Amino acid sequence: MELLIKNGTLVTATATFQADVLIRDEKIARISPGLEPDSAQAINASGKLILPGGVDPHVHLDLPMFGTVSSDDHYTGHKAAAFGGTTTVMDFVVLEDKGFQYSVDIWMKKAEKAAIDYSFHMNLTQFNDKIAREIPSLMKMGIQTLKVFTAYNGRLRIDDGSIFKAMQIARDNGMLVMAHCENGDVIETLTEQALAAGHRTPEWHALTRPAWGAVESLLRVAGMASAADAPAYIVHMNVGGEVDMLKYARERGIKVMGETCPQYLFFTFDDLRKPDGAKWICSPPMRTKEDNARLWEGLSEGVLQTIGTDHCPFFFDGTQPIVYEGSEVAIPGKELGRDDFTKIPNGLPGIQDRMPVLWTTGVRAGKITANQFVAYMCTNPAKIFGLYPRKGALLEGSDADIVIWDPEKKVKYGVAMSRQRTDYNLYEGWELTGYPEKVFLRGRLIVDGEEWKGKRGMGQFLRRGEGVVL
């Protein structure tokens, strides 16, 4: 069956124009003004915008942590993403001792319930000669990214020499290294000292993770990327100084790219001091208003390349159930660290919030253009991670992942409107203008206003090839 979306205004990363969109066999078959329905079902999008489906490059679904698990899985998180206009997400595989294929198989099993299209990154949390030899095998599995950490000593971090070798291997195999940049040694020392002094409240999560540790770590990773002549991608940038270092490195020809997340554009250390401050616990932590402002500048100036979410939700009070799809659900959450900030599960909900919140606060506020919005939310992540032009684009031949966006729709946002499976929302009570009206995945309508028309298992795993450096 063919579908024709008529009279809408298409917004891409580079242009805004009026045209009709014909969908056939899950693809965009034709884009042109004045198309006639013939046998196609027609949808009138007059007064609406037509956007590519969002691509979220950074989510954590069904992730074990601190004796519990992130509260969204590969169905609930995908469903929430769709209601926010996102149709493709990229999750992270936990590396098990039995190797890459074994680890990927576990995540593929988890994702059998997927409701939108998805792909994976590989956490590189161990390194030896055997692992080094096996890294290229990930490309055969459709995974072209490795994530490394300069923090989480003794758990996730590998040493700088191993990171450098991984970059060389990535360079030789068309792969990309992603880096979580904080100073693990400083964090471990400050955390030990804080606990010894009896400091256990949420703000100490931020006080033990100083901003300068992120800044110097980013520059260190950029230096390794330069020496390896390899690309690098810095995840969840949260410090104004990181924007400065990214700009410094890129102006000198280093192939380094940067991602920020919505939470780092709005919230600060002061939120951790609130009675419910655990809601804002994530790593890296919230910073200052000055950091918020510099990150916005990084987006408006084009220093940054993407906006992900780092979606990793936990209940604020997992002892109290919520109702999800008619059933009560309670999952242990942030109450586990009620008396010790080091035991609060690190992570926030955000997979649905990203596009609606950034449209109001970014596009409508004049901080970024509608075309930049599409670049950061859709096109750039698809290009960097080897999915373009299949995803993130409104082009003939692209997957028909399409959002009909009502730029004038007003909503009062919050947990009651969110489909994220947790008991709170960071944007509670925010007045938003601009929201998805209809969302299509490969030409199939999966969100129609407040109605869910998708289903478990309809999402497809996306095998990715070599991406591009932006």
Can you state the angle between helices 211-228 and 160-172, rounded to 10 degrees? 40
Where do we find the tokens 């891409």?
12
CA–CA separation, 400 and 27 (whole Å): 5
3-class secondary-structure state, position 95: coil
Tokens for 68? 């519990």
DSSP for 140-208, written as a single string:
HTT--EEEEESSSTTTT---HHHHHHHHHHHHHTT-EEEEE---HHHHHHHHHHHHHTT--STHHHHHT
Q: What's the rounded Cα separation, in Å, for the pair 136 and 139?
A: 6
Residue 3 per-residue DSSP state = E
- Are 238 and 295 spatial neighbours (Cβ–Cβ below 8 Å)? yes
Whether the model clears a pTM of 0.85, i.e. scores above it, the answer is yes
Tally of CB atoms within 10 A around 385: 29
Q: Is the peptide bond before 284 cis (omega within 30 degrees of 0)?
A: yes
Give the residues across from 55 on adjacent strands.
Answer: 88
The CA distance from 285 to 267, in Å, is 10
Q: Helices in 273-406 by DSSP H: which ranges?
A: 289-300, 354-358, 370-374, 380-384
Which residue in 416, 247, 255 sits closest to 324, CA to CA? Answer: 416
pLDDT of residue 38: 86
- Token pair 């390896």: residue: 228
CB atoms inside a 10 Å sphere around CB 186: 17
What is the predicted pLDDT for the residue at 37?
87
The encoded tokens of residue 171 equal 């360079």
Residue 196 exposed, middle or buried by CB count within 10 Å (0-12, 13-18, 19+) = exposed
How is the chain split into domains, by residue range?
3-52+389-420+427-452, 54-384
Residue 448's pLDDT is 98
- Amino acid of residue 31: I
β-partners of residue 258 are: 234
The set of residues, in sequence order, having a beta carbon less than 8 Å from that of 322 and lying 6+ positions away, is 315, 328, 329, 330, 421, 422, 423
User: 389: cis peptide before it, omega within 30°?
Assistant: yes
pLDDT score for 396: 98
Look at residue 255 in the predicted model and tell me its pLDDT. Answer: 98
Q: Is the fold of 3-52+389-420+427-452 the same as that of 54-384?
A: no
- The pLDDT averaged over each successive group of 10 residues in the chain (470 residues) is 95 98 98 92 97 98 96 98 98 97 98 98 98 97 98 96 98 98 98 98 98 98 98 98 98 98 98 97 98 98 98 98 96 97 97 98 98 98 98 98 98 96 98 98 98 98 96
- CATH class of the structural domain 54-384: alpha beta
Q: Which two tokens stand for residue 250?
A: 């890129």
Spell out where 290-358 has E strands.
306-307, 322-324, 327-329
C-alpha to C-alpha distances, 125 to 99, 166, 225, 260, nearest whole angstrom: 11, 11, 18, 22
Q: How far, in Å, CA of 443 to CA of 11, rounded?
A: 18
Q: What is the pLDDT of residue 1?
A: 77
- The arrangement of secondary structure in 3-52+389-420+427-452, i.e. its CATH architecture, is Roll (2.30)
SS3 410: strand
d(CA 303, CA 299): 6
d(CA 374, CA 371): 5
∠ CA 204-58-281, nearest 5°, is 15
DSSP β-bridge partners for residue 122: 93, 146
Structure tokens at 409: 């729709």
The closest alpha carbon to 369, from 9, 15, 8, 10, belongs to 15
